Amino acid sequence: MKKSDIPQDRGSDDPSNFNELYYATDTEGNYVTGKSTGWDPKKIALDNAIEEIQERAEKAKQRVLNKETSPIEYYMELNKMDIPILASYVGFWSWRVKRHLKVKVFHKLSEKKLKKYADLFEISINQLKDIEYGN
């Protein structure tokens, strides 16, 4: 890639000001560094990944409202987590976290356990119990 070809694809509506360092060749063919404001193919890939996460969270929300899963699943998706990551943050085994996703088990959880989840997700216990709390 020539230095003059370093992509500068940041849209005018993009508020971020992050510029990445690239290695590219100058007119003599020697390697130099230059800055890139963004590259469309990468932006599309990132946007798709974010969209995917939002979709997963939205689906989880519906499942919570239908009482098919506990609110923990919704907050887990919202925080881009999966069960092993969530388990290591709260310090339970994965199979226990999986159990806590069951609506019946969730309702019997102690305040102490609920607080662990709530603290991790940075929400109140009320918000954890009811995902539409305060709305």
Partner 1 sequence: MEINFTHHQTAHCENGVVSNLMKFNGYDVSEPLVFGIGSGLLYCYIPFLKVNHAPAITYRVMPGQIFNRFAKRVGIKIKREKFKNPAQAQLRLDENLKNDNPVGLQVGVFNLSYFPEEYRFHFNAHNLIVYGKQEDTYLISDPIMENVSTLTSKELEKVRFAKGAFAPKGHIYYPVDFPKELDLKKAIIKGIKHTCKDMLAPIPIVGVKGMRFTAKKIRKWPKKEGVKKANHYLGQIVRMQEEIGTGGGGFRYIFAAFLQEASVILENTKLYDLSNEMTVIGDTWRDFAVDASRIYKNRSAKNDAYNDIAIQLENIADMEEVFFKKLKRAIR
Spatial distance between the Cα atoms of 102 and 123, rounded to a whole number of angstroms: 20
Closest approach of Cβ 75 to partner 1, in Å? 14
We find the least distance from the C-beta atom of residue 73 to partner 1, in angstroms, to be 14
Confirm if 111 and 125 have CB atoms less than 8 A apart. Answer: yes
**Residue 120: both structure tokens together:** 């991790």
Which residues lie near partner 1 (CB under 8 A)?
Answer: 1, 6, 16, 18-25, 29-31, 33, 35-36, 39-42, 44-50, 52, 79-82, 84-85, 88-89
**Single-letter amino acid, residue 72:** I
- The tokens for 83 are 């069960």
Nearer to partner 1, 52 or 58 (CB): 52
Report, in Å, the least distance between residue 66 CB and partner 1. 22
Give 20's strand partners: 36
